[in-house]
Amino acid sequence: MKAFHLNRKQLGIPYAVFLICFVLAPLIVIIHYAFTDASGAVSLANLKAFFTSPNTIGTLVYSISIAVVTTLVCLLIGYPLAYILARSKMKKKYTIVLMFVMPMWINFTLRITALKEILTVIEGNLAFHPFLNTIIGMTYDFLPFMILPMYTTLINLDRSLEEASRDLGAGEFQTFLKVTLPLSFPGIVSGVMMVFLPSMTNYVVLDMLYNSTYIMGSLIGSYFSAYDWHGGSMIALVLLVIILAFTLISGRFEEDEKDRKGGALL
């Protein structure tokens, strides 16, 4: 009797079904709604509305500002921390890394609620500093995602490269600028990706910290709750394109990195 044998194609069937149901089908539905009007006719009105409405453009700008500032703050706190941790000879450094990563294991709403209480004690009324509070909340939420990839890159960095730089006449700071920083760039890129993209849409932080301004996530939600499927889908699609563009750009850096690793195997 011939043994029952699955070939590669057959093994792929469940994944194909999954992709069709949960990725492809929703995407088609979104595209369909985005480019039709209420009567079901094909129309570019939604696209036009997105780029002409001060409401949507304003939200996009606000979302991007929050994402940019959050990313910068995370980078400024995260890189020195990752660097110090990667370089320290402390025996306890894994514990410290763990302490920064541990909040990721605690329920997100719980953490933000705790933060809200602390900020209320400090500020009195949260409504006075909505932008600042949002940045604090986002930074608190996403900092571990920034630290981890940078820490991993820095700890795997070949220390003899820094020694080579010193040997060739570079001082400590020159070595950091010319060798350490460029070589930790892949870690920075993936950290930025991990923080920038979600902070553009994570409206729960704003909601919970009483920031009533919309960002992209909450804007889409508001369209859908008003039964405007067409307008909401178009916003979702535009956001998707922005994220795709961003991913493609940063993907380039990662390809460089792959080259490098492949080269080292030769």
The answer to whether residue 264 forms part of the interface with other proteins (CB under 8 A) is yes
Whole-angstrom CA distances from 35 to 24, 29, 43, 45, 125 are 17, 10, 5, 8, 43
Quote the tokens at residue 212: 């009533």
Q: Number of residues in contact with other proteins, rule: CB under 8 A?
A: 24
Q: How far is the CB of 132 from other proteins (least distance, A)?
A: 37
What 3-state DSSP class applies to 215? coil
- Residue of 47, 104, 178, 243 interacting with other proteins (CB under 8 A): 178
In the complex with other proteins, the residue whose CB is nearer, 40 or 171, is: 171
Q: How far is the CB of 193 from other proteins (least distance, A)?
A: 20
CB of 266 to other proteins, least distance (A): 6
Name the residue nearer to other proteins (CB basis): 131 or 185: 185
**Paired residues of 42 in beta bridges:** 36
Cβ distance to other proteins smaller for residue 114 or 168: 168
Question: Which residue's CB is nearer to other proteins, number 6 or number 265?
Answer: 265
Shortest Cβ distance from residue 156 to other proteins (Å)? 12
Q: Does residue 91 bind other proteins (CB under 8 A)? A: no
CB of 109 to other proteins, least distance (A): 42
| Tokens representing residue 217 in the block | 């996530």
Instruction: Considering only the stretches 133-141, 147-155, 180-188, 207-215, report the one whose residues sit in contact with other proteins under the rule CB under 8 A.
Output: 180-188
CA-based nearest residue to 180, from 140, 237, 29, 188: 188
Nearest to other proteins of 54, 263 (CB atom): 263
Of residues 185 through 214, those in contact with other proteins by CB under 8 A are 185
Phi, psi of 5 (to 5 degrees): -135, 130
**175 and 236 in contact (C-beta within 8 Å)?**
no
The residues near 183 (Cβ < 8 Å, ≥ 6 apart) are: 153, 157, 161
Residues of this chain, 234-263, that bind other proteins according to CB under 8 A: 259-260, 262-263
Residue closer to other proteins (CB basis): 106 or 164 = 164
- Site residues for other proteins, 136-175, by CB under 8 A, read 158, 160-161, 163-171, 174
d(CA 222, CA 206): 14
By CB under 8 A, the residues from 29 to 88 that bind other proteins are none
Determine the angle formed by the axes of helices 229-265 and 185-201, rounding to 10 degrees.
170
Rounded CA separation 210/207 (Å)? 5
Instruction: State how far the Cα of 72 lies from the Cα of 187, in Å rounded to an integer.
Output: 15
> Residue 165 or residue 233: which is nearer to other proteins going by CB?
165
DSSP E strands: which ranges in 103-252? none
**What does R_g of the chain's alpha carbons equal in angstroms?**
23
- Residues lying near other proteins in the complex (CB under 8 A) are found at 158, 160-161, 163-171, 174, 178-179, 182-183, 185, 259-260, 262-264, 266
